[in-house]
A and B are shown apart, each in its own frame.
Chain A
């Protein structure tokens, strides 16, 4: 029932974001210049779609959320990334067409359209808001076993799929491209394909996909951390193969043994972007401030104006209706001084500071049990886990208020970023080795047997991963010992002095 409600709301959203009439056709393609992939041609149909408010809104959604607060040039948008994904999917399709003409026949246009629409379901600040609306009941219902999206797609992929399958979108696309198959586009976005055509889904959803190729290059480039992938070599080595796996034959993408290096580069670079960029502690601090504002609005039980809509952030669609700039306008003229203050702090970059660093380096736990209890909440996507961590933050807040500090519960956050999931990619990527060239016979090996990246990543993570407790900078020193006490009492382990020094704080003197 709740998925039906969401579908209706999505229809309303799509209806509002598509023009009633098609623009006048000029029978002209368009050239778009951009700094990552150069000068690229887009068809008139693609331009018509790109020019709709549905896709234009992506210009005003930052690709890497709040990363630009720490990496000032990371201001690229979901729109830029969309263009890049089209370019890279297109490149991949063209390469594969030159090797497998029959299999790839007629796939260029639908795959370019899928790439064009793959991120149209992103909400404000991209993955930052996804962490919140992914917890809402409707999203939990939609992904339960037996439900429509029970294959663990990401929440924004579900929204993109619902947008593409909505009636207003179907009506519109019918006018632009009469034979367009929206079901096929939706399946490409959510990575669904049968065993004999896995390669179709892998062009947009796999370790080789156009989406990852673009965002690894783009996010790294714009944040000033250039990472190179030898793409030419990847294209030479990639092919579609019939691969027998556990007694079942799959037709999927495979890379030749001589071209595994670009695959290693992709997996390794993607891994490194997590601690360096996406999970940088200042980026996470911004994410928590954003969540604090949303939580404050929800807790107040009132609605706010975002763009031309009134929202309360209790429904998934509330995160779709606005853009990043419209979010920043919330509350600026509000009579609620707390809301105004929370928003101004984020807008003017008075960011939360870390008051405790949480990692195996900074904790002292003889049995490891207490620390393991806390880490249980890391990467949990259930509403219960979110509530547990929030109740702990509220307890820290209550103790702080008792000591005379002025702080809101929405200003204290315990942040435990999720792990980097590369193991699956490493096990799903296959490498082919020629067994007998004259007979066209190959052996197939999972990429992780050649370079066990999942094991390296786990080791990197063991040393690099860290969680944090965040609080407003003006009370950083006072909150730190309170947070320490609350967490130690709840979980029964001790923080080492490093937990404070890593936050540039002087550790409290040990009690005698």
Chain B
């Protein structure tokens, strides 16, 4: 763990949050309407992690281009996968958790880690819905 906060890109933010999901959470919905507002609602509590993520409040749900791109990047890199046949759930695989622990965990400051855990906790709630 890092004592000072490094600049994190959106893909690293999302991977850090997903990497901190409880092990009991192995699936998440892919709907932007469900995912993005969770990040938005916690942005003031989790400033260290979320300070560079911007949101668009013009539609019927709060949306972030950066988060959209970040989820897509993790999918393109195949560390985040969707579950067949409907492709409407993300599978939180060992590959993703290993990516987080080997590449990102050491980059996060205490505050960033705390923020990632806080958002992960909320995401785990929608996984159960």
**A interface residues (Cβ-Cβ under 8 A, vs B):** 143-145, 150-152, 191-193, 198, 201, 205, 243, 245-246, 248, 250, 252, 360, 367-369, 371-373, 375-382, 384-385, 418-419, 421, 423-424, 427-428, 446, 452, 454-455, 458-459, 461-462, 465
Interface centre among A243, A248, A368, A459, by most chain B C-beta atoms within 10 angstroms, is A368
Q: Once the chains are docked, how many angstroms separate the CA of A246 from the CA of B37? A: 12
In the complex, what residue of chain A is closest to B63 when comparing beta carbons?
Answer: A424
In the complex, the answer to whether A191 meets B58 with C-beta atoms within 8 Å is yes
Q: Once the chains are docked, how many angstroms separate the CA of A465 from the CA of B64? A: 21
In the complex, the answer to whether B11 meets A144 with C-beta atoms within 8 Å is no
Provide a sorted-by-A list of 22 A–B residue pairs whose CB atoms are within 8 angstroms: A150-B55, A151-B55, A151-B56, A152-B56, A360-B77, A367-B99, A371-B77, A372-B103, A373-B103, A375-B74, A380-B9, A380-B66, A381-B65, A381-B66, A424-B32, A424-B59, A427-B32, A428-B61, A455-B30, A455-B87, A458-B87, A461-B72
A-B pairs, top 7 by smallest CB distance, nearest first, are A372-B77, A379-B69, A152-B56, A419-B72, A455-B87, A376-B11, A375-B77
Known: A151-B55, A377-B9. 13 other contacts (CB 8 A): A145-B54, A152-B65, A198-B60, A246-B60, A367-B95, A378-B11, A379-B73, A382-B9, A382-B52, A419-B69, A419-B72, A421-B65, A428-B61
**B interface residues (Cβ-Cβ under 8 A, vs A):** 7, 9-12, 15, 30-33, 43, 52, 54-61, 63-66, 68-69, 72-79, 82, 86-88, 95, 98-99, 102-103
Q: Once the chains are docked, how many angstroms separate the CA of A423 from the CA of B30? A: 10
In the complex, what residue of chain B is closest to A423 when comparing beta carbons?
Answer: B32
Chain A: minimal CB distance from B93 (Å): 10
In the complex, the answer to whether B79 meets A368 with C-beta atoms within 8 Å is yes
In the complex, the answer to whether B95 meets A458 with C-beta atoms within 8 Å is no
Within the complex, which residue of B10, B69, B99 is in contact with A372, where a contact is CB–CB below 8 Å?
B99
Chain A neighbourhood of B10, CB < 8 A: 380
Within the complex, which residue of A376, A418, A458 is in contact with B12, where a contact is CB–CB below 8 Å?
A376
Chain B: minimal CB distance from A254 (Å): 12
Chain A neighbourhood of B68, CB < 8 A: 419, 421, 423-424
Chain B: minimal CB distance from A453 (Å): 11
In the complex, the answer to whether B60 meets A428 with C-beta atoms within 8 Å is yes
Within the complex, which residue of A367, A378, A382 is in contact with B102, where a contact is CB–CB below 8 Å?
A367
Chain A: minimal CB distance from B39 (Å): 13
Chain B neighbourhood of A373, CB < 8 A: 103
Q: Once the chains are docked, how many angstroms separate the CA of A347 from the CA of B112? A: 48
In the complex, the answer to whether A375 meets B60 with C-beta atoms within 8 Å is no
In the complex, the answer to whether B69 meets A368 with C-beta atoms within 8 Å is no
Chain A: minimal CB distance from B36 (Å): 9
Within the complex, which residue of B15, B31, B98 is in contact with A367, where a contact is CB–CB below 8 Å?
B98
In the complex, what residue of chain B is closest to A198 when comparing beta carbons?
Answer: B60
Within the complex, which residue of B57, B59, B87, B98 is in contact with A428, where a contact is CB–CB below 8 Å?
B59
Within the complex, which residue of A205, A246, A372, A380 is in contact with B79, where a contact is CB–CB below 8 Å?
A372
| With A369-B99, A376-B73, A421-B65 as contacts: A250 and B60 at CB distance below 8 Å | yes
In the complex, the answer to whether B78 meets A360 with C-beta atoms within 8 Å is yes
In the complex, the answer to whether A252 meets B102 with C-beta atoms within 8 Å is no
Chain B: minimal CB distance from A359 (Å): 8
In the complex, the answer to whether B78 meets A150 with C-beta atoms within 8 Å is no
Q: Once the chains are docked, how many angstroms separate the CA of A385 from the CA of B9? A: 8
Chain B neighbourhood of A380, CB < 8 A: 9-11, 66, 69
Chain B neighbourhood of A150, CB < 8 A: 54-55
Chain A neighbourhood of B86, CB < 8 A: 452, 455
Chain A neighbourhood of B98, CB < 8 A: 367, 369
In the complex, the answer to whether B76 meets A462 with C-beta atoms within 8 Å is yes
Chain B neighbourhood of A462, CB < 8 A: 75-76
In the complex, the answer to whether B54 meets A143 with C-beta atoms within 8 Å is yes
In the complex, the answer to whether A252 meets B60 with C-beta atoms within 8 Å is yes
Q: Once the chains are docked, how many angstroms separate the CA of A384 from the CA of B77? A: 21
Chain B neighbourhood of A250, CB < 8 A: 60
In the complex, the answer to whether A369 meets B102 with C-beta atoms within 8 Å is yes
Chain A neighbourhood of B76, CB < 8 A: 360, 375, 378, 419, 461-462, 465
Chain A neighbourhood of B12, CB < 8 A: 376
Chain A neighbourhood of B87, CB < 8 A: 452, 455, 458-459
Chain B: minimal CB distance from A375 (Å): 4
Chain A: minimal CB distance from B97 (Å): 12
Within the complex, which residue of B58, B73, B82, B103 is in contact with A375, where a contact is CB–CB below 8 Å?
B73
In the complex, the answer to whether A246 meets B78 with C-beta atoms within 8 Å is no
Chain B neighbourhood of A459, CB < 8 A: 87
In the complex, the answer to whether B72 meets A458 with C-beta atoms within 8 Å is yes
Q: Once the chains are docked, how many angstroms separate the CA of A371 from the CA of B77? A: 6
In the complex, what residue of chain B is closest to A430 when comparing beta carbons?
Answer: B60
In the complex, the answer to whether B54 meets A384 with C-beta atoms within 8 Å is no
In the complex, the answer to whether B103 meets A369 with C-beta atoms within 8 Å is yes
Chain A: minimal CB distance from B76 (Å): 6
| With A245-B60, A427-B61 as contacts: A455 and B82 at CB distance below 8 Å | yes
Chain B neighbourhood of A446, CB < 8 A: 33
Chain B neighbourhood of A452, CB < 8 A: 86-88
Q: Once the chains are docked, how many angstroms separate the CA of A369 from the CA of B76? A: 12
In the complex, the answer to whether A151 meets B69 with C-beta atoms within 8 Å is no
In the complex, what residue of chain B is closest to A388 when comparing beta carbons?
Answer: B9
Q: Once the chains are docked, how many angstroms separate the CA of A320 from the CA of B59? A: 29
In the complex, what residue of chain B is closest to A144 when comparing beta carbons?
Answer: B54
Chain A neighbourhood of B63, CB < 8 A: 152, 424
In the complex, what residue of chain B is closest to A385 when comparing beta carbons?
Answer: B9
Chain B: minimal CB distance from A158 (Å): 13
Chain A neighbourhood of B60, CB < 8 A: 198, 243, 245-246, 248, 250, 252, 428
Chain B: minimal CB distance from A208 (Å): 13
